[in-house]
Amino acid sequence: MIQRLKQNKLYYLFLFLILAVSFILFLSFAPNAQLQLATVVLAACCYIGFGLFHHHLRGDVTAKVVIEYVLIGALGITIVFFYLK
């Protein structure tokens, strides 16, 4: 696990930056639920796209990997959608 973190530290840094910026934007749009939801949708799309790009570079994109990323992104959107309602 530690070796994997060292090997992919740039990937995890970009992923952290995407999620951190999305979180800051989410908080800054606090009174406007539509902008908050749009921020989460954009963050989920970036998460999915960046994850699939990473796996493409590694050469291990499979249907299982694509489904996993899409479901995690959809879960995040769903949770926030029902939280904001």
DSSP letter for 72, please. Answer: H
pLDDT in tens, 37-79: 999 999 999 999 999 999 999 999 999 999 999 999 999 999 9
Assess whether pLDDT exceeds 80 at residue 25.
yes
Q: Where are the domains of the chain?
A: 2-84
Provide the 10 A C-beta neighbour count for residue 35: 14
Tell me what pLDDT residue 2 has. 77
Tell me what pLDDT residue 6 has. 78
pTM passes above 0.85: yes
Nearest to 16 by CA among 39, 42, 46, 53: 46
Tell me what pLDDT residue 29 has. 96
Tell me what pLDDT residue 39 has. 97
